[in-house]
Structure 1
């Protein structure tokens, strides 16, 4: 799909992977609806990006908020592209020094990372069905999994479960939506330079980067965005989860 002149919805768009994706899509001539929390700096980011970028404050787990963002896309000409970058990370063992993990902590990660993604997918796909087919397709949905889906570390049970579910739903969702000419793909990043990583010490960041075989560093958000754009442009990419990780395989801890 050629992004020029089309409408994209990017979740978690005010920072990290989402911001890099918004920037790349605007550069490619797309108009972006940026969905992020009201507490984010989304208003300022959207203004700085220009290109008709619209900030849609909201929570991916809220049906009302997501419907509002999709309606903004419809009003702008119809939703054609979705990139789901919103998510949270939590490091807790199933049983720690203080006992079992509180169930609500595990549930929060699943709710945001998995159910939030599904909430976007179902409402976005319904909107895409109203599009006329542009050549071979009506829309593209890209989700964010993680290498933790395949080799999660100790303390990542909730996070790994949420991301493994994203990888697991990719093919069946792609098969279901194929008859409607909507593609579904997932990207599984390794260790990337994101706001979450920025909160860690320089020593820890260097250690994480050193674990990547080649290139021997953490990934850059722009590299994620470049893959997202390639997926959008390449109609044969469908139903697959692509590891974007420099060949890293995470150790148990």
Structure 2
């Protein structure tokens, strides 16, 4: 599928992996619609990228905020004539907590809701609201492709550590819905791919201590380092361009299998 002259909606697009993806797709001729909570960063990014970028301040756990961003993107598409080619659902949060702590107190339901609402509900809500505007796009190429949905899981979906019950649940759900989503969308010529990164340099991992980061890096086979955002963005680009990537989860983890505890 061609990237140039198509519009891609990227949640979490103002920082980390989402921002690297936006830069990469933009460099290959895409129009990028960036959804994020950080309005100041979003404004600066759009100023640097120019007329092929738009920013919308969005909390992905807010259905109305997503709807407004989709409406704004659709209006922009009508102006540019560059159809929506895909969604990169990159907004995510991590809020560690043991399901039962040392004081015999269970993990708060508000903490669980926060993680699930952003990582799972926000992903599904963005996808479902964008899809009506993708299914009607003129199909292109010999396969009659209309677009691609790219979701972000995590290595925690497969080997989450202590304290990652809510996070692993949210990312495991994203991984498990990949195939049924691809099956739902197959008749429209829309693919679904999930990328499951391990330790990557991002705004989320900046919050972990050097000791924890070093411990996680030791669990990687090769290379023994955190992934670079550009490496994630390159995988997104290949997932868009390679039509045979569909209904699958790509582990981007340096053969890392996380230990039970650090």
Structure 2 length as normaliser, TM-score? 0.93
Q: Which residue of 2 aligns with 1:210?
A: 218
Q: Which residue of 2 aligns with 1:113?
A: 119
Shift of 1:208: 2.1
Does 2:45 match 1:32? no
RMSD: 1.3
The answer to which of 156-165 and 50-59 deviates more is: 50-59
Answer whether contact 1:56 1:69 (CA < 8 A) is retained. Answer: yes
The answer to which of 88-97 and 31-40 deviates more is: 31-40
Shift of 1:196: 2.0
In structure 2, C-alpha distance between the alignment counterparts of 1:88 and 1:97, rounded to whole Å: 24
Q: 1:122 aligns with which of 109, 118, 128?
A: 128
Does 2:140 match 1:134? yes
Does 2:21 match 1:21? yes
Answer whether contact 1:3 1:25 (CA < 8 A) is retained. Answer: yes
SS of the residue 2:188 aligns to: coil
Answer whether contact 1:70 1:79 (CA < 8 A) is retained. Answer: no
Does 2:166 match 1:158? yes
Listed one character per residue, the Cα deviations across residues 40-82 of structure 1 (whole Å, up to 9, x for unaligned) are: 5211122123352111111112222212222233232332111
Q: Which residue of 2 aligns with 1:88?
A: 93
Shift of 1:90: 1.1
Structure 1 length as normaliser, TM-score? 0.96
In structure 1, C-alpha distance between the alignment counterparts of 2:210 and 2:49, rounded to whole Å: 29
Q: Which residue of 2 aligns with 1:100?
A: 106
Residue pairs, 1:65-84, within 5 angstroms: 65-75=65-75, 76=77, 77-84=82-89
Answer whether contact 2:93 2:204 (CA < 8 A) is retained. Answer: no
Query: For structure 2, which runs of at least 5 residues remain unmatched after alignment?
Result: none
Listed one character per residue, the Cα deviations across residues 78-97 of structure 1 (whole Å, up to 9, x for unaligned) are: 32111111010011011002
In structure 1, C-alpha distance between the alignment counterparts of 2:158 and 2:96, rounded to whole Å: 16
The answer to which of 61-70 and 115-124 deviates more is: 61-70
Number of corresponding residues? 253
Answer whether contact 2:157 2:171 (CA < 8 A) is retained. Answer: yes
SS of the residue 1:185 aligns to: strand
Q: CA 1:40–1:97 in structure 2 vs 1: closer, same or farther (change >3 Å)?
A: farther
